[in-house]
């Protein structure tokens, strides 16, 4: 009985959290549409979330693209299909690995820092101070971050896709004996516009999830340094899980037809 | 001007405010004293709407503080937070003139900066502090920047939450005198929270003592020493002996 009660309690807690996060997302959307809009904070976040994430995105995707080429070559050799390396690297990076890797790296890098920053602001009464200075924390903190992520994470995903393909290209042409021109030609011929659009769409959704989770857990942080730590941990965990779940759903929506 | 009637607030089983009745007339300096954790900060946060009371009414100028235009309401207030609550990503002058750079009171950047420097001078800080970040300042300087921010838009009502806590006696004296001067020259209505008796004697017109979730005693500062309330007497004397338990 106590096991069932525990499962029930955990399920209820999860549903309650999903409900609160949904409400938070709705509030964010309603604040996007109503002035004032803080351009300076928005521009800063474009830089923070986008530009400064480029090295991490580049490094993770180039290594993954290279490893993918090695695996496909070795796996393909079992049934004499080594030649598919360019096509599978392209589709694997663009449809799945590019957006997922970028999403997870953003969760690690951006969600955590947003949550820690906002939670610290809450603990040190800076959120209260914002309110008393007639500035809504949702407008000043959440909206710029979520909008910046919505715009910039698809771009990062595009960059990640390209660098991932480049990783595969380098490995295939330098160590596996592929012809450079033919590799690029195969990649370009095989990829469809819908593959690329689905990749960018996933990036946009993952970006919004990452920024929203950082803001939500930051603003709902408990008290003291422990509260900040717990909020940061919970935000990254929630962002990573939601990104992977959303990826599964989006893949189903885009490619099951 | 500010009137609280039977205001209650609990956090779970922790009944912090159990029915607060308090009136702060226009232009007066009310000082609220009481032990740590008795709910002094929650009390002023309720007036500002940062905390929603479970019961009771709060009126400002006879109007319910929870109704009407929030921005217009908050524009009348200045608040010095217990820990300063300076925005650590912004330089000092932008902290001070935060309200003057956005929203209804927005003015050109140059003007906002000039006002910030003027307010910093008012609290005894040199103009070269303006471009530093809050984290580079000492505790006393941060408190003064918080003070400058609280008075930047010349508010009608100012709240000071423990303005001298954590400062050395000399700096405390400086801050106390500053608050008294500002209150007198601006003619503002103020509420100051403190457990520093020297602050009470410098700043207060009236004193209210918060204990056990209610206003235990209230009256003019001059009557504080002769009052025969045992709680107040114990607090004023700083004695371990008396009705207030020292283990809380
Ligand atoms: N957000 C909160 N959640 C739970 N308890 C709180 C919260 N804020 C304050 N409290 C509790 O309310 C009581 C009064 O707090 P406060 O008003 O900050 O005291 P003080 O008189 O020292 O300013 C304390 O016991 C504190 O633990
Ligand atoms: Mg307090």
Ligand approaching nearest to the C-alpha of A127: 1
Ligand approaching nearest to the C-alpha of B10: 1
Residue A105 token pair:
């790296």
Strands B189-194 and B14-24: unpaired
Indicate whether B247 pLDDT > 70: no
Output the CA torsion A233→A235→A240→A242 (10° steps): 140
Which class for A205: exposed (0-12), middle (13-18), buried (19 or more C-beta within 10 A)?
buried
Of A125, A126, A132, the CB nearest to B82: A125
Output the CA torsion B81→B82→B88→B93 (10° steps): 50
Cα distance between residue A126 and residue B122, in whole Å? 23
Is the C-beta atom of B213 inside 6 A of ligand 1? no
Give pLDDT tens digits for B61-96.
Answer: 999 998 888 888 999 999 999 989 999 999 999 999
Q: Scan for tokens 């960018």, then name that residue.
A: A200
State the distance from the centre of ligand 1 to the C-alpha of B40, rounded, in angstroms.
8
On whether the pTM is more than 0.80, the answer is yes
Task: Spell out the domain ranges in chain A.
Answer: 49-251
Give pLDDT tens digits for A91-136.
Answer: 999 999 999 999 999 999 999 999 999 999 999 999 999 999 999 9
Q: What 3-state DSSP class applies to B137?
A: coil
Of B49, B85, B102, the CB nearest to A125: B85
A131:B74 CB<8 A: yes
Cα distance between residue A135 and residue B6, in whole Å? 29
Is the C-beta atom of B140 inside 6 A of ligand 1? no
Indicate whether A257 pLDDT > 70: no
Indicate whether B17 pLDDT > 70: yes
Report the atom number in ligand 1 closest to the C-alpha of B43: 17
User: Distance from B82 to chain A by nearest Cα, in Å?
Assistant: 9
B74:A133 CB<8 A: yes
A126:B87 CB<8 A: yes
Over residues A215-238, mean pLDDT: 96
Cα distance between residue B151 and residue B115, in whole Å? 11
Handedness of CA A64, A65, A68, A73 (dihedral sign): negative
Is the C-beta atom of B142 inside 6 A of ligand 1? no
In order of their start, the domains of chain B are 2-76+155-237 (3.40.50.300), 88-154 (no CATH)
Does ipTM surpass 0.85 in this model?
yes
């Amino acid at each position: 009985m106590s096991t069932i009660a525990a499962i029930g309690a955990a399920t209820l807690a999860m549903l309650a959290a999903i409900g609160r996060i949904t409400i938070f997302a709705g509030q964010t959307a309603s604040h996007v549409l109503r002035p004032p809009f803080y351009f300076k904070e928005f521009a800063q976040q474009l830089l923070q979330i986008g530009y400064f994430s480029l090295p991490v995105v580049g490094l993770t995707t180039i290594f993954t693209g290279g490893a993918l080429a090695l695996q496909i070559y070795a796996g393909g050799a079992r049934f004499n299909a080594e030649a598919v390396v360019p096509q599978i690297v392209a589709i694997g990076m663009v449809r799945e690995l590019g957006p997922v890797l970028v999403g997870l790296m953003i969760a690690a890098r951006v969600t955590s820092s947003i949550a820690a920053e906002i939670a610290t602001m809450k603990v040190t009464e800076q959120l209260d101070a914002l309110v008393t200075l007639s500035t809504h924390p949702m407008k000043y903190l959440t909206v710029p971050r979520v909008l910046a992520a919505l715009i910039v994470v698809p771009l990062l995903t595009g960059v990640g896709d390209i660098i991932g393909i480049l990783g595969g290209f380098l490995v295939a042409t330098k160590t596996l004996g592929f012809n450079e021109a033919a590799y690029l030609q195969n990649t370009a011929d095989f990829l469809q516009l819908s593959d690329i659009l689905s990749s960018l769409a996933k990036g946009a959704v993952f970006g919004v999830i990452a920024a929203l989770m950082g803001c939500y857990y930051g603003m709902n942080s408990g008290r003291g340094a422990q509260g900040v730590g717990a909020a940061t941990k919970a935000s990254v965990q929630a962002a990573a899980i939601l990104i992977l779940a959303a990826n599964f759903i989006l893949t189903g929506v885009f490619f099951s037809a | 001007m500010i009137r609280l009637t039977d205001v209650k607030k609990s956090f779970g089983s922790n009944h912090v405010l159990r029915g607060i009745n308090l009136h702060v007339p226009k232009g007066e300096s009310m000082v609220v004293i009481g032990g740590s954790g008795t709910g002094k900060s929650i009390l002023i946060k309720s007036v500002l709407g940062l905390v929603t009371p479970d019961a009771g009414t709060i009126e400002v100028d006879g109007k319910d503080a929870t109704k009407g235009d929030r921005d217009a309401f908050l524009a009348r207030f200045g608040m010095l937070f217990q820990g300063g609550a300076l925005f650590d990503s912004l330089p000092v002058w932008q902290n001070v003139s935060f309200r003057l750079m956005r929203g209804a009171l927005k003015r050109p950047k140059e003007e906002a900066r000039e006002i910030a420097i003027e307010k910093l001078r008012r609290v005894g800080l040199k103009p070269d502090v303006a471009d530093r970040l809050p984290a580079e300042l000492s505790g006393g300087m941060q408190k003064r920047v918080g003070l400058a921010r609280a008075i930047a838009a010349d508010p009608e009502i100012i709240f000071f939450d423990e303005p001298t806590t954590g400062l050395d006696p000399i700096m405390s004296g400086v801050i106390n005198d500053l608050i008294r001067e500002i209150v007198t020259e601006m003619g503002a209505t103020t509420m100051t929270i403190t457990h520093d008796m020297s602050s009470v004697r410098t700043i207060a017109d009236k004193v209210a003592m918060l204990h056990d979730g209610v206003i235990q005693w209230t009256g003019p500062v001059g009557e504080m020493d002769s009052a025969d309330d045992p709680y107040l007497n114990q607090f004023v004397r700083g004695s371990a002996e008396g009705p207030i338990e020292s283990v809380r």
